[in-house]
Structure 1
Amino acid sequence: MTETSSVYEAAGGAAGMLALAEAWHARVVVDEVVGHAFSHGFDPHHTERLAAYLGEALGGPAAFSTRYGDESAVVRMHAGNGEHPEMDDRAVACFDGALDDVGVGVETRLGGVLHDYFAWSTRGAMAAYPDSPDDVPSGLSIPRWSWEGLVRG
């Protein structure tokens, strides 16, 4: 791993993103708090979609936005469910566990950056519209994250 590569590349590219998405999904569906979000069913391609989203956000190809939609679509899926900080915290804890599951500890530089991204996204972008999906503006692009954090501009 070098910081001249993207976070996506350092995390193993598409295969690394899929492994991380699968590990996170396996944890959240059985979590006593976060599992509620999946209790009414979920897209059978959830992990592939999540892997594509994570990859694009972390410096990989535009696989998510090319195949599935823009940030507005993602945020709308998470909007309108009220504020749920305990669920958000548990989702982040599951992500940290998933990092361990795929061999990237949170205490490493890569693990810390991945944790920071997921925590920022979960508690920020995905929680920004608690009242209604109709509040989410159209045309949002997927935020990009680098070794230094959110890429501005």
Structure 2
Amino acid sequence: MSETPTIYEWGGGREAFERWLNVFYDLVEGEPALARLFGGRVSEEHRAHVTTWWCEVMGGPATYTTDNGGYEHMLAKHRGLSITPELRLRFVTLLSQAADDAGLPDDPEFRAALMGYAEWGSRLAVHNSQPDAAVAEHAPVPRWGWGVAPPYVPGA
């Protein structure tokens, strides 16, 4: 392997991210406090859009930007939800559990990158969801990287 793969590639591409997020949203639907943020049930459309978002953020195709409205659309979906720190923590915890349950790669570098974004993004979502929050109205969809620990590739 001559180039470091993206997190998206390392994780298994769209199929793997879709499997993970469907497991995650199934868990969310079992938790009334979280499920209320989605009207009690997470629609197939929402699941597909969030999968597209995560794929783009993790280095996959820029489809959320081109087809779903980019950052501004994601921001609009969080406005006014009043997400609490407790709900944020449960959300991130379920993302981690779902990664295990869905069989995503469990190497520490991948999980650190995946959960690093979950922490970062969920903390922004808490802020952006508050009434009258001062938010960045326009920004690109973030492109997450490996940070200080790229994946370990034996013999590379």
Do the structures match in fold with TM over 0.5?
A: yes
Q: Tell whether the 8 Å contact from 1:96 to 1:106 is kept in structure 2 after alignment.
A: no
1:28-68 superposed Cα distances (whole Å, 9 cap, x missing partner): 11113212212355543111111100010011110111111
Greater helix percent: which structure? 2
3-state SS of 1:140 partner: coil
TM-score, normalized by length of structure 1?
Answer: 0.83
Runs of at least 5 residues in structure 2 that lack an aligned partner in the other structure: 149-156
- The match for 2:48 is 48
Q: Tell whether the 8 Å contact from 1:3 to 1:147 is kept in structure 2 after alignment.
A: no
Please identify the structure whose Cα radius of gyration is greater: 2
- The match for 1:78 is 78
User: In the aligned structure 1, how far is the partner of 2:100 from the partner of 2:64?
Assistant: 25
TM-score, normalized by length of structure 2?
Answer: 0.82
Q: CA RMSD in A?
A: 2.4
Seen in structure 2, the aligned counterparts of structure 1 residues 8 and 2 have a Cα distance that, compared at 3 Å, is farther
3-state SS of 1:127 partner: helix
User: What letter corresponds to residue 62 of structure 1 in structure 2?
Assistant: A
User: In the aligned structure 1, how far is the partner of 2:42 from the partner of 2:28?
Assistant: 12
- The match for 2:109 is 109
RCO greater where, 1 or 2, for CA within 8 Å and sep 6 or more? 2
Runs of at least 5 residues in structure 1 that lack an aligned partner in the other structure: none
Q: Is structure 2 residue 98 aligned with structure 1 residue 98?
A: yes
- The match for 1:145 is 144
Q: Tell whether the 8 Å contact from 1:2 to 1:10 is kept in structure 2 after alignment.
A: no
- Identity percentage over the alignment? 24
1:70-97 superposed Cα distances (whole Å, 9 cap, x missing partner): 1121012112233510110010011011
User: In the aligned structure 2, how far is the partner of 1:42 from the partner of 1:32?
Assistant: 12
Q: Tell whether the 8 Å contact from 2:35 to 2:42 is kept in structure 1 after alignment.
A: no
- The match for 1:32 is 32
User: What letter corresponds to residue 28 of structure 2 in structure 1?
Assistant: V
Q: Give the paired residue count.
A: 147
